[in-house]
Amino acid sequence: MCAALKRCAYRHKGKIMENTNIVTTEQQAPNTISASNAIFNVQALGQLTAFANLMADSQVTVPAHLAGKPADCMAIVMQAMQWGMNPYA
């Protein structure tokens, strides 16, 4: 959490008046999931499965030995995720 403190002092009719404003903002980390824990996250696993199915349905963008094989495509997708690579590369 990041906090910025602004303090202001001024005189009003001989008395010192203070005004303290605290402004806080929370920064959130981007939604990232590693390949090693993706299989334990239901939402991430569903997204990986959908991507692997899409990849397996392709006729042009994947080698012939992966076409129509979503489980093999899932292995490629997870390995590419671990290595930080494009699964189509």
Strand partners, 10: 17
Domain spans, the chain: 35-83
Say which residue, 4 or 35, is predicted with more confidence.
35
What pLDDT, on the 0 to 100 scale, is given for residue 41?
84
pLDDT per residue as tens digits for the range 10-20 = 555 666 666 66
pLDDT at 30 over 60: no
Structure tokens at 1: 């959490």
- Determine contact, residues 81/38, Cβ cutoff 8 Å: yes
pLDDT per residue as tens digits for the range 58-84 = 989 999 999 999 999 999 999 998 899
Mean pLDDT of the chain: 78
Phi-psi region at 22: left, alpha or beta (left = phi > 0; alpha = psi -120 to 50): beta
Contacts of 13 (CB under 8 A, 6+ apart): none
